[in-house]
Structure 1
Amino acid sequence: MKRIKETNRLLAENLVRSIMKDYEACGIAAAIIDKNGVTQYEKFWGVRDLESRKELDGETIFGLASVTKSFTALAIMQMEERGILKLDDPVSRYVPEFTNKNQKTVTIRHLLTHSGGFFPLPRILVDQVAAEMGLDEKAVGDLAYNDALADEGVRRVAERLDAQTEESGLNGEPGEYLSYCNDGYGLLSDIIRRHGGEPSYAEYLLKNIIEPLGMKRSFCDFVRPSLDVNAATLYKKVNGVMTASRDYHDHAFVLNGGGAMKSTLNDLKKYLAMYLNEGKTPEGIRILGSTGIREMCRPRQDYGAFGYYGYGLSMKRLDDLKVVEHGGSLPGVSSNIAWSNEVEAAVIVLCNTSGVPVRLISDALMRMYNGRNPVDRRDVWQETSWDEETILEAQGMYISGEGTKAELYRKKDGSLGARENGKEIPIIPVGPKTAIVRNQYSDLFIRLIQNESRGIYAIAYGSRLIPKSRQEKREEGE
């Protein structure tokens, strides 16, 4: 039996307070459950609204952002189990707008593992598309359920993915590299909408996952959380000032499968208990067969430095534990779910503030429950150096369609330097073509991507592959 030691609890909670202070987090809700869905630990820090000082509780609605991808993958696996589709089928069979004209066949499996071959692209926003179509939510109802919007959204997403070529926009062949791709999960949600037997992606999740699990305050709706008296106010920094909003449309992708879910701590306890029981609730209600759950959790693509990605979920080692998890980030949203079958426990961390490293809190609570020191000791890296030829070939700007601008350059002393969005960042080479950026609480892993024909043409920057631009190389001080 795993026990929470008082010393470890204090260390974990001190870490949460430090992270909240350093990131100006407004409110955090966290819980640990066992395999039976019984709460073993629960705590709330801060508030759901700074102005009213209203407190958080287990029924407070938070945005989940990319934790939604686990719901999307679960739905696809249900459809595969029911014989509606096969994971190695071409995406174009189910989404004819995607013609797949400029690359080898992209399959459903490729999209599930973010390995369709696409570099990050700017978000196609739900509000923008709806406005261009003249859709007034007050007249047509919540945009999460609007069929015309979904039709237009998938047309736009498919059209721009089809426009990608090896010269511009493709990072390799399908299955070759992982590069986190919201567009791909958008196409998956459209497969669910069109072929899942329900009028929309949102309704499919309600009928096949949310309602069977008894998750009464979970949904994809945009309007409902903004009106709910117990929904978290969303906080993000704008020009250095923390700003409040009740707009759950903010930065939302036009197709819902990558980040539209909202939920509560209590509802997610039911969701995580299902995974701990390999696809069924502690009461025996089956959501997906155990084989399907294990397939979701099977390592398939390298993810970061030491992790892997399966289907809508990532896997890693946390000390002596195997942990399955997924996080999410949107304006006013930082979320993480995680579980380990070895300790038969799951951790949920939800926050109503952008950019808060809640995964580190999740790790601390998992260690605490496992009887370990919860404070991350940081990975031990063997520092090295890149040779001059590698630095000269690698230096330049790497620009993501999502807005990140990373620069590698040769310093005057010949060593490697780096900037992100114009700001100097500490980069440490740890292998002949790998490095880390050392942040306050965690490290970002970097790997050079190259082949014989293209040379160094991209970097793996955390979970994304970012292409190298044609901007001229420069040295420090130039």
Structure 2
Amino acid sequence: MTEQEKFEAYVKKCMEDHQAVGMAVAVLDAQGGTSYEQFFGKRDRESGAAIDDETIFGLASLTKSFTCLAILKMQEDGILSIDDPVSDYIPEFKGMNQGEPVLIRHLMYHSGGYFPQSRIVVDTVAAELGLDEAVVGDLAYNAELAQEGCRQVAGRLDAQNEFIGRPGEYFSYCNDGYGLLSDIIYHHGGCASYADYLLEHILKPLGMERSFCDFVRPLKDENHATLYAVVAGELTKVRDYHDNAFVLNGGGAMKSTLKDLKKYIAMYLNGGTGLNKAAIAKPETIEAMTTKHQMDSYVTDYGYGLDIKELNGFQVAGHGGSLPGVSSHLLWCLERGVGVIVLCNTEDVPVSGVAEAALSMGMGFEAERKAHHYENKPWDAEDLKAACGVYASDEGTRVELLMNESGEALLKNGEKTSPVIMIEPGHGMIAGEYGDTFIQMIADEHRGVFGMRYGSRILPRAEA
């Protein structure tokens, strides 16, 4: 079996196991040349319509790299410094109760100190304001919605009085922080909205003609991917791009195509210059985005809007995205000059594993996700006992750490209980076929064990 055949068998199994309807995969080089491109499944299950490189997909949190690129371009232009307090740019945000300022860069690598919060969504805020999209136009460009969204997000952050740590101390994925970043871009970037800034300063200069933040436009386009999710075990159509969409666009509003995203990745592989020779950002800006700034998980660090890890002994950068009807991933290796794009129109498909396998193939290695193997090194029994309990966030995640009769750690998530490989004191891993989940116990001398890093978020300990 060739590496390509091995890769395609892996993709098809992943899609079958997660009821994925359609997936687009491409491997490219720094010159924009495509060494591999394949379209699996369909963009619409009911009609049987095929996917091509112009099919519009949602990007979800891949948007975060665009947001950080925009902020750093504003720094290049002398509009701001990422070492400035956020409150200097957003009057609605006071940075209350923290004891020291939350800086712009803290939000860029998810280290404002905030526990995960439930999502403030477009539909809810628009309804509160009486905004009818058919009357006011696409909500991605609506100033009234953006202003009220910022007021609500900033107010909720300021209302917190219990924090993970001081600003910059801990990474914990925070969509609210990226909401505030998009407000800075909106009010200080010289454009009518966050969406307009991306269009004017990044998308149009790169020639990304089918990329945007619009909510309405994708589904009116003849070549869009219908959105799906598995609900109670059944594959179901998602209503539209408003579904669970965050009220401020900087965390996840982008839509794009395989063809356009090749231009975006090539820009990173060429130090900020597009394939059309357009200078989007300075080389030092791109270097800053792909420099490790904060530990994300046991094997991953975070730059600015990008995850950074190792694959086959090389540093790689990228990001994933997940929303109703969206599973997406970008990944590239600067040293080898190769990048990959994976776009899927079904929620909760582990496309990060597909991206790793594709990039590994593109780098000349075996076409497979690199599983992590660790010897189980049991924690001290008293430490494990102290860590056992329920950890839950307002975002909806709830897990429980247990200890069985043999002193082994188990993690319960919903109906599923999994063994925890205890890597070292306070760190563990739950192995998975398409991706591993790492945990870390978070403690201090005053609160003891008060949180668990589960994946990319730190969950607070629930009341007994």
Bucket of the pairwise TM-score, normalised by the shorter protein: over 0.9
Task: Find the counterpart in structure 2 of residue 92 from structure 1.
Answer: 87
Residue in structure 2 matched with residue 80 of structure 1 by the alignment: 75
Who is 1:303 aligned against?
296
Counterpart check, 1:272 vs 2:265? yes
Matched residues in 2 for 1:122 and 1:61: separation? 28
Alignment counterpart, residue 453 of structure 2, candidates 445, 451, 460:
460
Choose which of 245, 254, 267 in structure 2 pairs with 1:261. Answer: 254
Q: Who is 2:127 aligned against? A: 131
Tell which deviates more after alignment, 378-387 or 43-52: 378-387
The Cα RMSD (Å) is: 1.1
Where 2:253 maps in the other structure, the secondary structure is: coil
* Cα offsets for 1:332-366 (capped at 9, x unmatched): 10001111111111110000001111111111111
Which residue in 2 is equivalent to 1:69?
64
Tell me which residue corresponds to 2:320.
327
How far 1:239 moved relative to its partner?
1.9
Q: 1:143 aligns with which of 117, 125, 139?
A: 139
Q: Note if contact 1:66-1:258 (Cα within 8 Å) is conserved in structure 2.
A: yes
Per-residue deviation, 1:429: 1.5
Query: In 2, Cα distance between the equivalents of 1:214 and 1:150?
Result: 27
C-alpha distance in structure 2 between counterparts of 1:442 and 1:247, whole Å: 28
Range with bigger deviation, 422-431 or 119-128: 422-431
8 A contact 1:274–1:282 mirrored in 2: yes
Q: TM-score, normalised by structure 2?
A: 0.98
**Alpha-carbon distance, 1:422 to partner:** 4.3
Residues 176-203 of structure 1: per-residue CA shift (max 9 Å, x gap): 0000000000000000000000010000
Contact 1:404 1:421 in 2 (8 A): no
1:281 counterpart residue number: 274
Q: Distance in 1 between matches of 2:238 and 2:412?
A: 31
Inter-CA distance 49–163: structure 2 relative to 1 (3 Å threshold): same
Partner of 1:343: 336
Pair 1:107-2:103 in alignment: yes
How far did 1:426 drift? 2.6
Pick the aligned partner of 2:364 from 346, 371, 391: 371
Q: Is 1:13 the equivalent of 2:8? A: yes
State the number of aligned residues: 463
Please name the residue that 1:476 is paired with. none
TM-score by length of 1: 0.95
For the residue of structure 2 that corresponds to 1:323, the secondary structure is strand
- Asked whether the equivalents of residues 459 and 468 of structure 1 are also in contact (C-alpha less than 8 Å), the reply is yes
**Quick check: 1:44–1:56 contact (8 Å CA) kept in 2?**
yes
Contact 2:294 2:303 in 1 (8 A): yes
Segments of structure 2 that go 5 or more residues without pairing to the other structure are: none
Counterpart secondary structure, 1:102: coil
Asked whether 1:229 is paired with 2:229, we answer no
* 3-state DSSP of counterpart to 2:42: strand
- 1:53 alignment partner AA: G
Q: Is this contact kept in 2: 1:233–1:246, CA < 8 A? A: no
- 2:158 maps to which of 137, 156, 162: 162
Shift, 1:10, TM fit: 1.0
Query: What whole-Å deviation, never above 9, does each CA across 1:77-113 have from its counterpart, x for those lacking one?
Result: 1000000000110000001101111102100000001
Which residue of 397, 403, 420 corresponds with 2:413? 420
Corresponding residue for residue 24 of structure 2: 29
**Residues 30 and 269 in structure 2, CA contact (< 8 A), matched pair in contact too:** yes
Which secondary structure does the structure 2 equivalent of 1:336 belong to? Answer: strand
CA contact (8 A) 2:388 2:402 kept: yes
Question: Are positions 1:215 and 2:211 aligned together?
Answer: no
CA distance in structure 2 between the aligned counterparts of 1:389 and 1:179, rounded to whole angstroms: 26
Q: Which moved more, 1:313-322 or 1:152-161?
A: 313-322
2:242 to 241, 249, 259: 249
Q: Identity percentage over the alignment?
A: 53
